[in-house]
Amino acid sequence: MYKLPELEYRYDALGVHISKNIMELHHSKHHQTYVDKLNLALSGHAELTKNTLDELLVGLSDLPAEIQAAVRNHGGGHYNHSLFWKFMTPRGDGEPSGELSSALEQRYGSFQAFVDEFEAKALGVFGSGWVWLQPDLSIVTTPNQDTPIMNGMNSPILGLDVWEHAYYLDYTYKRADYVKAWWNVVDWQFVGKLHQDSK
Ligand code: MN
């Protein structure tokens, strides 16, 4: 049985950037529903309980046809959100440091140029989806709750949820304002560690 992971900060900890109201609904309702529906999909398939979530998502096409869509949507949702909470912190320091900082500068010319491209891709997602920074520092998007590991890519080192449920209560239709505010809560120490670990 999959379980909703606990947040490492309080619902109100991201303050003016992402409200307590959004955090509480997003974690305790939306994410909980992905977990519940993933468990429901797997409930008739005891043979799959030995697989990790990564294995299920990487091997979607090998799963029984009747649960492929549910594992894709709800397993992907559980995977993506479990990462997303960790990409954020009340102690956001605004910019990466050390090796990741130099690597982003080398790849994009400057940290701001990286931010600009990430934001452009986030705004370019039509409907619901995600934008990701991959270990090779490419920026990719996925629709719905698809996740890069379903597409043969590595697990991302940073990602932003651009579903309306992630921002509408605070920002209404202004996705661009949400994306700009989100940089204030990015946990660059964690992102830097994932980047190091990916080598
Ligand atoms: Mn979400």
Q: How far is the CA of 104 from the centre of ligand 1 (A)?
A: 26
Same domain, 48 and 129: no
Alpha-carbon distance 41 to 74, whole Å?
9
Q: How far is the CA of 68 from the centre of ligand 1 (A)?
A: 20
Q: How far is the CA of 84 from the centre of ligand 1 (A)?
A: 8
The backbone torsions φ and ψ at residue 165, rounded to the nearest 5 degrees and listed phi first, read -65, -20
CATH code for the domain in which residue 35 is found: 1.10.287.990
Q: How far is the CA of 167 from the centre of ligand 1 (A)?
A: 9
* pLDDT category of residue 100 using cuts at 50, 70 and 90: very high
Q: How far is the CA of 116 from the centre of ligand 1 (A)?
A: 22
Q: How far is the CA of 109 from the centre of ligand 1 (A)?
A: 31
Taking only the tens place, the pLDDT of each residue in 2-46 is 999 999 999 999 988 999 999 999 999 999 999 999 999 999 999
56 assigned to some structural domain: yes
* pLDDT for position 23: 98
Q: How far is the CA of 98 from the centre of ligand 1 (A)?
A: 30
CATH code for the domain in which residue 178 is found: 3.55.40.20
173 assigned to some structural domain: yes
For 43, the domain range is 20-86
Same domain, 106 and 82: no
* pLDDT category of residue 153 using cuts at 50, 70 and 90: very high
Residue 199: pLDDT over 90: no
Taking only the tens place, the pLDDT of each residue in 84-95 is 999 999 999 789
Q: How far is the CA of 18 from the centre of ligand 1 (A)?
A: 13
Same domain, 40 and 72: yes
Same domain, 104 and 156: yes
The pTM assigned to this predicted structure is 0.97
Same domain, 106 and 176: yes
Q: How far is the CA of 145 from the centre of ligand 1 (A)?
A: 8
Taking only the tens place, the pLDDT of each residue in 126-138 is 999 999 999 999 9
* pLDDT for position 15: 85
Same domain, 75 and 127: no
Q: How far is the CA of 34 from the centre of ligand 1 (A)?
A: 10
